[in-house]
Amino acid sequence: MGTIDLNLLVIFATVAQTGGFSAAARRLNIPKSSVSRSISALEKTIGVQLIHRSTRHVALSTAGSALLGRLAPLLSSLRDVVDSLPELHDQPSGLLRVTVPVDFGAAVLPHVVASFAETYPAVQVDLHLTARFVDLVAEGFDLAVRISARRLKDSSVTARSAGRVPMAIYASPAYLAARSLPRSPRDLDVHQWVVFRDDTPLRLDGPTGFVEVSPHGSVRCDDMTFVREAVCAGGGIGALPAFLVAPDLLAGRLVPLLPQWTIDGGEVWILTPSRRYVPRKVVAFRDFLLNTLRTQGIISTR
């Protein structure tokens, strides 16, 4: 096996992480043909096929998966070395790769990212909105936002709690027009729900303590934005996070039910790869995000 060009390894990792030659070419700002030639050159040097190609998709071979698993942490460490150079410490700079849940990202992050980009123009934010559980180290991400009711346990990442997500129960005026308004949690049993994920009981916190209610309905899904839209359309009542419903409340599309009762929607966690040195761009974005979430009341710190 001949000497391996480090640039070929970077291109291979980018193809693997983006899922295609075109996406990798856009991220690296090089022609797609250069990406294809580089992968072929790397495979020739190593002597094994790393990527299975088709007209629409690429997939890692067994050897390609093994190479990526060992290569991604090394490339991440090299990026940290460059980011830690004293000459770069004046201002945060470089590519910042962030992954967040779809509903949270679409509802909360546009203004956050726009303000951050204006404050730190030398940082390029590459934001990925996905419901998929992303491996930060293997896929080369700098930061992730996740919402979970339980503390996240992963030795490869550092998890910091930002606060809790307040939730409440909502309905549309059209839905309520033909039904009685619930005045206590037990009144919710007679209502049709748009259910998120499953029938797990919801714990309501109110004037008389905690009460559990069991959502039930003919519509269920695994996307909170769909729940909101279905509730707005009159499909039933739904438990929704406060950050997702503010525009609908102002426009009168949703009405809060039992406003004295709240639901704990879980904790917002900010995750970064565990490393000795955290790049300034990551620290800047993490602190900027934390400050925005708390000052704007998007999360509760109780």
User: Among 55, 83, 111, which residue terminates a domain?
Assistant: 83
User: Among 38, 64, 83, which residue terminates a domain?
Assistant: 83
Please give the Cα distance from 162 to 301 (Å, whole number).
Answer: 8
Please give the Cα distance from 169 to 249 (Å, whole number).
Answer: 12
Instruction: Report how far apart, in Å, the C-alpha atoms of 39 and of each of 10, 117, 118, 166, 214 are.
Output: 10, 33, 36, 48, 53
Q: Are residues 135 and 61 in the same domain?
A: no
Q: Which of 174, 172, 159 is nearest to 249 (CA)?
A: 172
Q: Are residues 222 and 278 in the same domain?
A: yes
**Is 88 within the bounds of a domain?**
no
| Domain harbouring 56, CATH code | 1.10.10.10
Looking at residue 36, its amino acid is S
Q: For the chain, give the percent of residues with pLDDT over 70.
A: 91
| Domain harbouring 99, CATH code | 3.40.190.290
Q: Regarding predicted confidence, which is higher, 225 or 6?
A: 225
**Is 51 within the bounds of a domain?**
yes
Question: Which tokens go with 165?
Answer: 């997500």
What tens digit of pLDDT does each residue of 133-191 get?
888 888 889 999 988 766 666 667 888 888 888 889 999 999 999 888 899 999 998 89
**Is 1 within the bounds of a domain?**
no
pLDDT exceeds cutoff 70 at 81: no
Q: Do the beta carbons of residue 167 and residue 256 sit within 8 Å? A: no
Q: Are residues 181 and 269 in the same domain?
A: yes
Give pLDDT, residue 87: 45
Mean pLDDT value of segment 273-301? 85
Question: Which tokens go with 295?
Answer: 């000052």
Question: Which tokens go with 233?
Answer: 């359309």
Q: How many structural domains compose the chain?
A: 2
Give pLDDT, residue 74: 81
Q: DSSP for 90-134, please give it.
A: SS--EEEEEEE-HHHHHHHHHHHHHHHHHH-TTEEEEEEE-SS--
Average pLDDT, the chain: 85
Please give the Cα distance from 32 to 54 (Å, whole number).
Answer: 15
pLDDT exceeds cutoff 80 at 199: no
What tens digit of pLDDT does each residue of 5-32 get?
888 888 888 888 888 888 888 888 888 8
Q: Are residues 145 and 198 in the same domain?
A: yes
Of 3-7, 35-39, 60-64, 271-275, the least confident: 3-7
User: Among 83, 118, 151, which residue terminates a domain?
Assistant: 83
Give pLDDT, residue 169: 93
Mean pLDDT value of segment 56-73? 84
**Is 289 within the bounds of a domain?**
yes
**Is 63 within the bounds of a domain?**
yes
pLDDT exceeds cutoff 70 at 82: no
pLDDT exceeds cutoff 60 at 255: yes
> Residue 302 — very low, low, confident or very high, per pLDDT cuts 50/70/90?
low
> Residue 266 — very low, low, confident or very high, per pLDDT cuts 50/70/90?
confident
Backbone angles phi, psi at 184, to 5 degrees: -150, 160
Q: What is the DSSP letter of 171?
A: E
Q: Is the pTM of this model over 0.85?
A: no
Q: Which of 210, 214, 194, 190 is nearest to 202 (CA)?
A: 214
**Is 23 within the bounds of a domain?**
yes
**Is 30 within the bounds of a domain?**
yes
**Is 70 within the bounds of a domain?**
yes
Q: Are residues 35 and 178 in the same domain?
A: no
Domain boundaries, position 169: 94-302
